[in-house]
Amino acid sequence: MTTDVLLALFGLAGGIGITAIGPGGVLPTIALFLLTPLGPAQVAGTAIVTHVATGVAGSGAYVRSGQLRERHTRRVAGLLAGVAMVGTPVGVLLNSLVSARWFGVVLGVFAVVVAALVVLRRPVEKRERSMGLMPPEGRELSAGSMPGREPSAGLVLGIGAGVAVAAGLVGVGGPMLTVPVLVVVGLPMLEALAAAQVQSVVIATAGAVGYLANGAVDWRLAAVVGVPELAGVLIGWKIAHALPTKKLRIALVVALLAVAPYLVLRG
């Protein structure tokens, strides 16, 4: 029972992180790896299944707020989603070649990389605010109120392919890596969040099919993690539009850096 409560809390925190700041989807994977006896394929398969619903909910939320009705955001989302159909199965295949020991190492490295990307993204956001490309923190951004900057199609496809392979390997939806990278290369924050939700649906669906084919999904644990995670996605969307996310960002970075060494040793 205590394990289920902890898994649910990780799911809730992960969901909030997904739509509020992008990274967050790795938290359910970390929880399943640390708190259950599941092997690498079951951890990744159980975690990635939960991201189907969270991706759909996140996409719907950003359609409602307008970001996914913008042409340039839909373009980025389409490119990310298209390449995810190819990259995700590759990641699922790679997972079958990774031992529990190395899965922990990979997950620990992921945690550090995500934390670094969150930190690197902060100066970019400050520059965008000073240039009028983002609103002041805590002020809601309405669709079309800020000019967008579109990365090249080749760059978006490269980012999407790399993220899809990594997401399929570890069992995450995609925003944890896609959002920080897109922001660093110049896409405004809310547009990056919106596009990444669409990519997440494709990654999660393709990944779920792959892991289901191998019988590597624990449905009970998927529900324990996934239901609170879905609630967290809706909470995170509200936070992204209405509240400063500085403290949430700091908490996520600290948590990821703190747990990374343990993931490596636990493997």
- Please tell me the pTM assigned to this model: 0.79
- State the Cα–Cα distance between residues 265 and 147, nearest whole angstrom: 46
- State the Cα–Cα distance between residues 197 and 57, nearest whole angstrom: 8
3-state secondary structure 186-214: CCCHHHHHHHHHHHHHHHHHHHHHHHHHC
Q: Are 202 and 85 in contact (CB under 8 A)?
A: yes
* Range 74-84 average pLDDT: 94
Q: Are 80 and 215 in contact (CB under 8 A)?
A: no
Q: Are 44 and 26 in contact (CB under 8 A)?
A: no
Q: What is the pLDDT of residue 245?
A: 60
Residues 6+ apart with CB under 8 A from 169: 44, 91, 92, 94, 95, 98, 106
Distance of CA 117 to the CA centre of its chain: 12
Q: What is the pLDDT of residue 169?
A: 92
Condensed to tens digits (0 to 9), the pLDDT of residues 88-113 reads 999 999 999 988 888 888 888 888 88
For residue 241, the 8-state DSSP code is H
Condensed to tens digits (0 to 9), the pLDDT of residues 142-170 reads 444 444 567 888 999 999 999 999 999 98
Q: What is the pLDDT of residue 141?
A: 44
Q: What is the pLDDT of residue 143?
A: 42
Please provide the average confidence, as pLDDT, over all residues in the chain.
82
* Range 128-134 average pLDDT: 53
- State the Cα–Cα distance between residues 165 and 91, nearest whole angstrom: 4
- State the Cα–Cα distance between residues 173 and 189, nearest whole angstrom: 18
And the tokens for 235?
């909470």
Residue 174: pLDDT above 80?
no
Q: What is the pLDDT of residue 250?
A: 76
Please state the φ and ψ torsions of residue 173, each to the nearest 5 degrees: -85, -25
* Range 31-37 average pLDDT: 91
Residues 6+ apart with CB under 8 A from 197: 18, 19, 55, 58, 59, 61, 62, 68, 77, 175
Which residue in 103, 32, 92, 18 sits closest to 62, CA to CA? 18
And the tokens for 140?
């809601």
Q: What is the pLDDT of residue 145?
A: 42
And the tokens for 167?
């997401």
- State the Cα–Cα distance between residues 64 and 99, nearest whole angstrom: 42
Query: Which one is predicted more confidently, 132 or 226?
Result: 226
* Range 117-146 average pLDDT: 54
Q: What is the pLDDT of residue 146?
A: 44
Residue 19: pLDDT above 80?
no
Which residue in 45, 89, 57, 27 sits closest to 222, CA to CA? 45
